[in-house]
């Protein structure tokens, strides 16, 4: 084994809402698996949520549980049946492994993100990929070319969410688009929609700093800063005036109920509100009559499927530049600081990553 560091560290949380660094054995890859030295992992809002709140829906932290699912690294050992990958290959890790059985309707019909038996790393009780050494099925490792860094490789995970949403939304060249929320998901959605030729594009956020980041990445984007003391209809008027028309498509990347209301009011007859954001409330109320009388499609995205190959091509061919998204870098040993930076608005982080070499 080409391990340069003797200890396997994993960053975890527990029912006491602590960030802990656990030492464990270096796993032995199964016959179909590769052992990966994870070199970069991004912190996602869900990792912070598991730490602070101990659960997301029915997924509950009842014991130590490793975090992280946005990872890339290098193959350092291969199982006996591994066919395509070899030691030294640099890979992005796709963190959800569906059952892939022919008896599974979702896997068989190409909707594998709906597989009821999917194993998603960092969804308790399954540990995450925010660790030094991780054994992963070869089929769900995606080789990245030399011109894609480990940091970018880890960002292919949030980019996958945006690509899956854009694919299903039916976005076309020249479609007037609104993106609600300029967090990491809103920003990767902006980068992807810009590359896909949406025009014009408006992005919203409460935070002026995040809108400035969006504008610095895509200068042609029009920004609308949201103040929550205004009504959803008034906010929609501001969005439409910035767009110069009603939206054909709104990609909603906050999951916040009031933002979805403005999204619905800003959409044209027959348009679509495509909701990627999840937020934290399990029940929402929507302007039913308005959406009904205007034939507005309200649709949702759950993770992604079949996105990694495209994501790698878009980054390596230069259509999408993910590099500026990483604003904060820490070592595994600095996990506590990393999670503080990811959860403290004053840190002004877009994406915090933990790196290992």
Judged by the rule CB under 6 A, the positions of this chain that interact with ligand NAD are: 45, 161, 180-186, 204-207, 210, 226, 253-256, 258-259, 276-279, 301-303
* Contact track, Zn ion, 112-151, x by CB under 5 A: ---x------------------------------------
Closer by beta carbon to Zn ion, 9 or else 104: 104
Three-state helix/strand/coil letters over the chain: CCCCCCCEEEEEECCCCCEEEEEECCCCCCCCEEEEEEEEEECCHHHHHHHHHCEECCEECCCCEECCCEEEEEEEEECCCCCCCCCCCEEEECCEECCCCCCCHHHHCCCHHHCCCCEECCCCCCCCCCECEEEEEHHHEEECCCCCCHHHHHHHHHHHHHHHHHHHHCCCCCCCEEEECCCHHHHHHHHHHHHCCCCCEEEEECCHHHHHHHHHHCCCCEEEECCCCCCHHHHHHHHHHHHCCCEEEEEECCCCHHHHHHHHHCEEEEEEEEECCCCCCCCCCCCHHHHHHCCCEEEECCCCCCCHHHHHHHHHCCCCCCHHHEEEEEEHHHHHHHHHHHHCHHHCCCEEEEECC
Q: Which is nearer to ligand NAD, 90 or 261 (CB)?
A: 261
The entry of ligand NAD, Zn ion, none near residue 74 (CB within 5 to 8 angstroms by kind) is: none
Q: C-alpha angle with apex 330: 327 to 336, nearest 5 degrees?
A: 110
Specify the residue, 26 or 179, whose C-beta has the smaller distance to ligand NAD.
179
Asked if 96 is part of the footprint of Zn ion (rule: CB under 5 A), the reply reads: no
Contacted entry of ligand NAD, Zn ion, none for residue 181, CB cut-off 5 to 8 Å set by kind: ligand NAD
User: Is the Cα dihedral 195, 353, 54, 129 positive or negative?
Assistant: positive
107 binds Zn ion (CB under 5 A): yes
The upper half-sphere exposure of residue 6, i.e. CA atoms within 13 Å in the direction of its Cβ, equals 0
Q: Could you say which of ligand NAD, Zn ion, none residue 184 binds, taking C-beta under 5 to 8 angstroms by partner kind?
A: ligand NAD
Q: Identify whether the C-beta of residue 13 lies closer than 8 Å to the C-beta of residue 20.
A: yes
Question: What number of chain residues touch Zn ion (CB under 5 A)?
Answer: 5
Q: How far is the CB of 209 from ligand NAD (least distance, A)?
A: 9
Give 118 or 264: the residue with its C-beta nearer to Zn ion. Answer: 118
Of the candidate spans 36-44, 95-103, 127-135, 199-207, the one that interacts with Zn ion by CB under 5 A turns out to be 95-103
| Binding of residue 236 to Zn ion (CB under 5 A) | no
Does 98 sit near Zn ion (CB under 5 A)?
yes
**Residue 79 contact, options Zn ion, ligand NAD, none, Cβ 5-8 Å cut-off depending on partner type:** none
Window 208 to 227, contacts with Zn ion (CB under 5 A): none
Identify whether the C-beta of residue 242 lies closer than 8 Å to the C-beta of residue 178.
no
Residue closest to ligand NAD when measured from CB atoms: 183
Among 22, 99, 139, 218, binds Zn ion (CB under 5 A): 99
Sign of CA dihedral 148, 149, 152, 153: positive
Q: Which is nearer to Zn ion, 91 or 115 (CB)?
A: 115
C-beta of 105: minimal distance to Zn ion in Å?
8
When the beta carbons of 10 and 107 are compared against Zn ion, the nearer one is 107
Please, what is the minimum distance in Å from the beta carbon of residue 205 to ligand NAD? 4
Nearest residue (CB) to ligand NAD, 32 versus 120:
120
Q: Which CB atom, from 73 or from 181, has the smaller least distance to ligand NAD?
A: 181
Which of Zn ion, ligand NAD, none has residue 107 at its interface (CB below 5 to 8 Å by kind)?
A: Zn ion
Binding site for Zn ion (CB under 5 A): 98-99, 104, 107, 115
């Amino acid at each position: 084994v080409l391990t340069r560091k003797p200890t396997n560290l994993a960053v975890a949380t527990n029912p006491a809402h602590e960030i802990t660094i656990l030492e464990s054995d270096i796993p032995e890859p199964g016959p179909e698996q590769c052992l990966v030295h994870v070199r970069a992992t991004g912190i996602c809002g869900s990792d912070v949520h598991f730490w602070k709140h101990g659960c997301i829906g029915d997924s509950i932290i009842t014991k130590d549980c490793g975090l992280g699912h946005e990872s890339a690294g290098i193959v350092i050992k291969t199982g006996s049946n591994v066919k395509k990958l070899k030691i030294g290959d640099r890979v992005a890790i796709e963190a959800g492994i569906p059952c892939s059985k022919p008896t599974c309707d979702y896997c068989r019909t190409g909707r594998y993100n709906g597989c009821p038996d999917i194993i998603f790393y960092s969804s308790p009780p399954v540990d995450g990929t925010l660790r030094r050494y991780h054994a992963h099925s070869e089929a769900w490792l995606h080789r990245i070319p030399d011109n894609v860094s480990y940091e970018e490789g880890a960002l292919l995970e949030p980019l996958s969410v945006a690509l899956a949403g854009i694919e299903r939304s039916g976005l076309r060249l020249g479609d007037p688009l609104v993106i609600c929320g300029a967090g990491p998901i809103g920003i990767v959605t902006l980068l992807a929609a810009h590359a896909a030729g949406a025009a014009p594009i408006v992005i919203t956020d409460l935070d002026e700093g995040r809108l400035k980041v969006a504008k610095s990445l895509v200068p042609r984007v029009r920004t609308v800063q949201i103040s929550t003391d205004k009504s959803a209809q008034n906010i929609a008027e501001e969005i439409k005036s910035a767009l110069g028309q009603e939206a054909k498509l709104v990609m909603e990347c906050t999951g916040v109920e009031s933002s979805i209301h403005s999204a619905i009011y800003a959409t044209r007859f027959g348009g679509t509100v495509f909701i990627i954001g999840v937020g934290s409330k399990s029940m929402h109320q929507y302007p039913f009559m308005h959406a009904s009388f205007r034939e507005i499609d309200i649709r949702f995205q759950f993770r992604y499927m079949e996105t990694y190959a495209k994501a790698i091509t878009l980054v390596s061919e230069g259509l999408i530049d993910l590099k500026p998204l990483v604003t904060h870098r820490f070592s595994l040993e600095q996990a506590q600081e990393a999670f503080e930076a990811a959860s403290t608005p004053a840190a002004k982080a877009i994406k915090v990553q933990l790196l290992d070499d």
